[in-house]
């Protein structure tokens, strides 16, 4: 996995340290990595909802997420989501 | 020969999926000329070069089977300004008008709506496949296989619609 240095809000770092101190979590770096992944996933889902609704195009979606169109195509495919937003919107049950 | 302008989404799909041992894009190229904007080349074949379909698109571009054409006339900058479109979609719409192509091929709702409102003919990838069948470039058997293999990339209704049209052609 790629390693980078990122600035972190103090309260997030304190939370990570508290988790480690109380034995809830062990590795601060892992906790922060999970937070970043969650943030990315949340942003992707937010934008997918706008894409699904036809408010934004696939290219705009990719740009907003900071991915290339091809990487976004792969990310959607990996999550079992269509890359076209024309046609019947899948129901909440996923049918 | 029929000239169509491809947006990135359908180009990726066409270069990714195979039917009867042949990439969908190669089936299409037997019946139409595919033109793309440089921004679409960048999205699919350059930034996507790490994917087999990006490589496939790149090879066809190098061989001249897919043509990359610069957008030199931008007549709809203001019309498109407030749509949340990407660069590739904007360029594809402009290029379609500039080339006087038969149609823009896009699977994107917003690009479809914007281009239609500008008076362009717009097809989804499955529509192009059916058009080539009607023109005798693809057999019904090949088309049915293509529609099935690309089905996961579409929402419900799109492939079903195309299969009904295909059935009507058979009758």
Best of B8, B104, B125, B163 to substitute, by most chain A Cβ atoms within 10 angstroms, is: B8
- Residues facing B6 on adjacent strands: B105
What pLDDT was estimated at residue A18? 86
Half-sphere exposure of A67 (CA within 13 A, CB side): 19
Dump pLDDT digits (tens) for B102-119.
999 999 999 999 999 999
What pLDDT was estimated at residue A94? 44
Q: What is the mean pLDDT of residues B29-47?
A: 97
Q: What is the mean pLDDT of residues B37-61?
A: 97
The band of B12, judged by pLDDT with boundaries at 50, 70 and 90, is very high
Task: Provide ipTM, 2 decimals.
Answer: 0.94
Six-digit token string for B15: 């270069």
Q: What is the mean pLDDT of residues A50-75?
A: 97
Residue B147 to residue B169: CA distance in whole angstroms: 15
Residue A69 to residue B108, Cβ atoms within 8 A:
no
Nearest CA of chain B to the CA of A40: how many Å?
A: 20
Dump pLDDT digits (tens) for B54-82.
999 999 999 999 999 999 999 999 999 99
Dump pLDDT digits (tens) for B20-37.
999 999 999 999 999 999
> Which of B88, B89, B109 is opposite residue A86, by nearest beta carbon?
B109
Dump pLDDT digits (tens) for B86-99.
999 999 999 999 99
What pLDDT was estimated at residue B62? 98
Residue B9 to residue A55, Cβ atoms within 8 A:
no
Residue A33 CB neighbours (<10 A): 13
- Sign for the CA dihedral angle at B18, B46, B80, B70 comes to negative
Phi-psi region of B122 (alpha: psi -120 to 50; beta: other; left: phi over 0): beta
Altogether, the residues listed in chain A come to a count of: 95
**Are the C-beta atoms of A49 and A42 separated by less than 8 Å?**
no
Whole-prediction pTM: 0.91
What pLDDT was estimated at residue B35? 98
What is the span of the domain harbouring residue B48?
2-170
User: Which residues from A are below 8 Å from B111, CB to CB?
Assistant: 57
> Which of A68, A70, A87 is opposite residue B156, by nearest beta carbon?
A87
Residue B18 to residue B27: CA distance in whole angstroms: 9
Residue B160 to residue B166: CA distance in whole angstroms: 10
Dump pLDDT digits (tens) for A8-51.
888 888 888 888 888 877 788 888 888 888 999 999 999 999 99
CATH of the domain at B38: 3.40.50.1010
């Amino acid at each position: 996995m790629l390693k980078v240095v990122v600035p972190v809000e103090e309260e997030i770092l304190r939370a990570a340290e508290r988790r480690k101190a109380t034995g809830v979590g062990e590795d601060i770096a892992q906790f922060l990595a999970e937070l970043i992944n969650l943030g990315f996933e949340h942003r992707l889902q937010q934008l997918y909802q706008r894409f699904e609704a036809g408010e934004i195009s696939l290219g705009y979606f990719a740009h907003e997420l900071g991915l290339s169109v091809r990487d976004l195509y792969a990310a959607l495919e990996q999550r079992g989501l269509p890359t076209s937003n024309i046609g019947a919107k899948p129901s909440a049950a996923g049918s | 020969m029929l000239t169509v302008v491809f947006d990135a989404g359908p180009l990726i799909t066409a270069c990714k999926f195979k039917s009867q041992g042949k990439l969908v894009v190669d089936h299409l190229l037997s019946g139409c000329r595919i033109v793309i904007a440089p921004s679409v080349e960048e999205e699919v074949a350059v930034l996507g070069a790490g994917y087999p379909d990006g490589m496939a698109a790149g090879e066809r571009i190098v061989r001249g089977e897919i043509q990359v054409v610069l957008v030199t006339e931008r007549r709809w900058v203001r019309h498109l300004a407030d749509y949340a479109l990407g660069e590739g979609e904007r360029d594809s719409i402009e290029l379609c008008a500039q080339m006087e192509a038969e149609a823009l091929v896009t699977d994107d709702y917003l690009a479809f709506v914007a281009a239609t409102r500008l008076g362009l003919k717009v097809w989804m990838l499955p529509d192009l496949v059916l058009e080539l069948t009607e023109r005798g470039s693809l057999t019904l058997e090949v088309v049915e296989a293509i529609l099935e293999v690309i089905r996961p990339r579409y929402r419900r209704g799109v492939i079903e619609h195309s299969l009904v049209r295909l059935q009507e052609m058979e009758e």
